[in-house]
Structure formats: structure tokens, C-alpha cells
Structure 1
Amino acid sequence: MQNVAQPYRSVLYIPGSKTRALEKAQSLPVDAIIFDLEDAVAPDEKVAARQLLAKTLNTTDYGPRKRIVRVNGGDTEWGADDLATFIDVAPDAILLPKVEDPATIAALSGLLKGATTIWAMMETPRGILNASAIAAAPKMEGFVMGTNDLAKDLGSRGRGAMLTSLQLCLLAARAEGLVCVDGVYNAFKDEDGLRAECDEGRDMGFDGKTLIHPAQVAIANEVFGPSEDELDLARRQIEAYEQAKADGQGVAVVDGKIVENLHVETATRLLAKADAIKLVEGA
């Protein structure tokens, strides 16, 4: 189940083979890091990357940032060893690529140690169609949308063609209380395009966005983080509702709008998220 206070505004992919990138990630204001052993690592570097990343996670403090390791698929020559290694390392989560059914999740869930959870890359047509069953599998915590691979498999052009897939995964994630993070924006120098896609993802309901470059972090954090106006409204809603309860009334009114318990729950989560963001930014 999702920790509602943990922010996921910015989820940055870091190659597991790059020592400098692994070091720099300690100081970046990101909410979560995907330490990637799959797409970001060349085949002849995968074994060394696995060893480097295992040593790094065992000896390096990444503060409040969520540590997620994306392993290679079970159908590759590296997948089994990746899992064996990081089950022992026990990061915050293990991210499985191209998940297509809940059996894949169930097989891993019984092997995990400590508080390690499972995240799933949702990036194939079969996986999208099985999103509900995957979300309900044991130890599941989050979905990451793999929009590049999904577009390739669909033969689609443009984000609009993927809206059904994105919404199906969001529905499945929310039904089971999971995190759901939007796919990457490839043109990392295009700030306007990134902001527009972040705006769309936020309005759809995603918790944040996966990123391929540190230059994208600030925009994602801004768009997916609560604004001062939103925080002010949340505080006033809680205050007004508590006063209404004390006066024996079932609802309150703020800015001409009814405030009920459901609004207070949302406001409380928003303030908790803001507190968690302060921890990340303070680190």
C-alpha cells in the first residue's frame, strides 16, 4: 500500500554503471531514484554494474530518497543474478521490467527481505490489460509507466494514443492503493514540452514523473508539488471543518464551497506530502 506522505514528484533514472552519477544522486532534490541495470547499461557492462550498484547501496546514504533498483528481465542472462543480489541488498524496492501477469510478482514476493517492496514497469499491451491483477499481487507498491516501449508495441504516435493505457493503470493502481508514476519525456532540453506533459500527468492523477536527466527535476517537482495556495486552502478547510464539528454541524463552507470529510482527508494528505517534501529538500 502507498505511503501517502512519501512524495514521488520526481523519479530519476540513474545508470547503475556510472560511478559519478551514483555519487551525484546523493545531492539531487529528487523524491525517488531508479537505479537502472536494464536499458541504461550496455550488455558488456551489466555484471560490473550489478557489483558496483550493490556495493554503492550497501555503503551510501541517499537520505529520504526512495531507492528503487530496476533489474534485468527474468528472460535475460542477467535477470536471475540481479534478483539474487538485490534481494540480499534489500533496497526500498525492486522494479521489474515488462511485467505482464501477477505470477511474476508472486514468485518474487516470497523471496524479499525486510521492507523491500515490488514495483512494476507497465510497458506492454498484455501488461496493461492485466493491470488490475498485477496491482493486487503481493508486495506490490507501485507502477512505472514505460511509455517508450508501450508506444513501440502499440505502433502509436503521440501521447494521445496511449491515454487509455495510462488511465487503465491509474485505475488499477488506485484500486489497490499503489503509487503510479508517469513515463519519461525524452526531449530533456525542451522545458515547455516537459512542463506541458507534467501538467497533463498531474491532472490525470499521476503521483509524479520519471525523468531521464537532472535538468528535468525542478519542473517535475514544481508541477507535482503542492502550491502555497493549495496548502493555504488545505489548512483553512481543516480548520473550518473542525470548527463546524465543534458547533455540531456536518459540513463547513470555505470560499463559498462545501467542505466535507472527504475534502479534509485530501487536505490532510496534501499537508503530509508537503512535510515529506521538506525532508527531501532539506537533505
Structure 2
Amino acid sequence: MSQSYTPLRSVLYAPGVNARALEKACSLPIDCLILDLEDAVAPEAKSEARDTVVKALTTGDCGYRKRVVRVNGLETQWGAGDIAAVARSGVDAVLLPKVESAEAVLEALEALDAAGAPAELPLWVMAETPRGILSIDQIAGAHPRLEVIVMGTSDLAKEMRVLHTPGREGLLTSLGLCVLAARAHGLEILDGVHLDLQDDNGFQVACEQGRNMGFDGKTLIHPRQIEMANRLFGVSDESLMQAQKIVTAWQQSSAEGKGVCVVDGRLVENLHVEEAKRVIAMQSAINGRD
């Protein structure tokens, strides 16, 4: 199958200042690790965290796991130094916080290029302010090197003055707009974190809601959340079997010169086949990791 897929079911934040946590994270069954230089690091520890992250990137091995650094914003006193430090570190992507305009995307890419980053190094952006949400279409289409939108639901809830409710009613419009922008521009998109580590039921509800809204995975704050994120944003046995049936039936119909076919009483067209192929490719990628 020609279609490829890179799973982002589970994306764990780890404080950049904690070298042991960064090392341990590279043995966890996550799809991606975000080494955080921003919110998880106190101002007086920023320089230490930067050095720790660069050392982890240049000397450690995370196997198949993507390693992404969340830098401080360029408007802060640490942002330019963060970008200069990680540009040639071997990082898989750089995550820019609190993005509110397409210009911010271009400015970050210019800074990476000036620091000697690989020409193809991807940029990820966080959607976590009202202005960022209102500008998300322009942000998502700002540059081909933009790869992923990451929801910052904690900051967004604070800025919007909405409550953290089980159904996230106050955030649904923002979440939906960002999914639309991601799909319109061919990007991946990650749902925000769930802060209550004792609330397994609430975390499950949030994962199911995010999956049903179209998110590709969940950002996490603790290893205990990994298994559920991998399972709920992965491929169920039932979904895989159905996808395989659709592709097989379509191939048979195409060989007979037909443009449609029927699977389990339901009409199947090319759009259903493309989604089925995506599901199969995702499971194949997951199998390669497991």
C-alpha cells in the first residue's frame, strides 16, 4: 500500500529541566515526546533546561518516537536563544507556543533558518489564545513546513473564562475550528491535555470526544494516560476488519469496471476507500512500533 501514516496517538510533555524524565520518556510506548522549555520551566531554570534538552537530543536515542521541543515565544527573552540552541540538535520539529498570526509562523521559520536548521525541519504551532483561534485558518496555511496544530486548552480556557466541564462545552467551537483548519491545509492536529490524573473516566470521555471530533491524538501530562490514548486514538479490530473488507471489495469492483460497490449493505465510493486505506496504513505503522 502506497499510503503512509505516522501515528500521533500519544504525545507526552516532559519538563526540559528534568534530565531523568527525558531519558525515561524514551522508553515509554508514546508516539511523540515534547521536551518543554516553556510552561513547565521556571524563569530561573530556563538556561539550565535549554542545555539539558540539547544534551538529550544530541546524545540520547528515542527510537521511533518523535522528539519535539516547545520553545519559548520569540517575544520573550528566551525565545531566540531556544531556537538557536535546538536548530541543529537533531530535533524532529519545533513547537511554537501562543501563535496568533501567520507572520509569527514565518518569523519563527526565518529564525530557524538563520540558526542553521535543516531546510525541511517542521514547525508545530499551539492554538491557545482567542486571537490565535480566530486566525487559525491563516496560521494553518502560512507555510508548507507547518506540520501540526497542538491545542493548548488550559491556556485557552483561562483566556476565554470558560469552565473545565466534562463535555468541554465552552471550548467546542474553538476545537472544531482548529480541526477544520488542519484538514483544510493537510495538517495533523492534537487535542489538549486532561489535567485531573485521578479522573480516568473523564480522561476517557475527553479522548473519545477528541477522536470523534477528528483529532489525531492527545497531548498528555503523565505516563498513566498513555495506554488509553494509544487505544482510543488507535485502530480497533472492528475498524481494521471493515477497512480491509472495503479495500478488497473495491479492488474487485474496479477489476470489473465498476465505480461503486456495496459492503454489508452500504454503498462504498472512492472517498470511503481512501479512508479505509488510511486506517490500514495507520495500523501497519502501529504494528511496526509495537
Q: TM-score, normalised by structure 1?
A: 0.96
Confirm or deny: 8 A CA contact 1:237 1:264 kept in the other structure.
Answer: yes
Identity %: 51
5+ unaligned residues in a row in structure 1: which ranges? none
Provide Cα deviations, 1:195-226, integer angstroms capped at 9, x if missing partner. 01000000000001100000000000110001
Secondary structure of 2:81's counterpart equals helix
- State the partner residue of 1:77: 77
Q: Report the Cα offset of residue 114 of structure 1.
A: 4.2
Give distance in 1, aligned partners of 2:14 and 2:64.
16
Consecutive aligned runs of 4 or more in structure 1 exceeding 6 Å deviation:
none
Gaps spanning 5+ residues in structure 2: where?
none
User: Structure 1 pair 33/198, CA: closer, same or farther in 2 (3 Å)?
Assistant: same
In structure 1, the residue corresponding to 2:87 is in which secondary structure? helix
Contact 1:94 1:119 in 2 (8 A): yes
The number of equivalent residue pairs is 279
Aligned mates of 2:175, 2:109 — CA distance in 1: 25
Comparing 111-120 with 233-242, greater Cα deviation is found at 111-120
Contact 2:74–2:108 (CA under 8 A) maintained in structure 1: no
| Superposition pairs of residues 55-66 of structure 1, within 5 angstroms | 55-66=55-66
Match of 1:130 in 2: 135
* CA deviation after TM superposition for structure 1 residue 4, in Å: 5.6
Aligned to 1:10: 10
Comparing 64-73 with 103-112, greater Cα deviation is found at 103-112
Q: Give the residue type in structure 1 aligned to 2:155.
A: D
Matched, 1:141 2:150: no
Partner of 1:102: 102
Deviation of 1:116 (Å): 1.4
TM score, norm. by length of structure 2? 0.93
1:219 to 220, 225, 228: 228
Q: Which aligned pairs between 1:102-181 and structure 2 lie closer than 5 A?
A: 102-110=102-110, 111=113, 112-138=117-143, 139-157=145-163, 158=165, 159-181=168-190
Which residues in structure 2 correspond to 1:30-41 (within 5 Å)?
A: 30-41=30-41
Structure 2 partner of 1:187: 196
Deviations 1:144-194 (CA, angstroms, capped at 9, x unpaired)? 000010011101113111111111111111100001100000012211110
Q: What RMSD, in angstroms, separates the aligned Cα atoms of the two structures?
A: 1.2
Q: Which residue of 1 aligns with 2:273?
A: 264
Paired residue type of 2:35? F
Greater Cα shift, 169-178 or 83-92? 83-92
* Distance across 2 between alignment mates of 1:238 and 1:19: 46
Is the CA contact (8 Å cut-off) linking 1:93 and 1:118 kept in structure 2? yes
C-alpha distance in 1 between matches for 2:193 and 2:97: 15
CA distance in 2, matches of 1:277, 1:24: 21
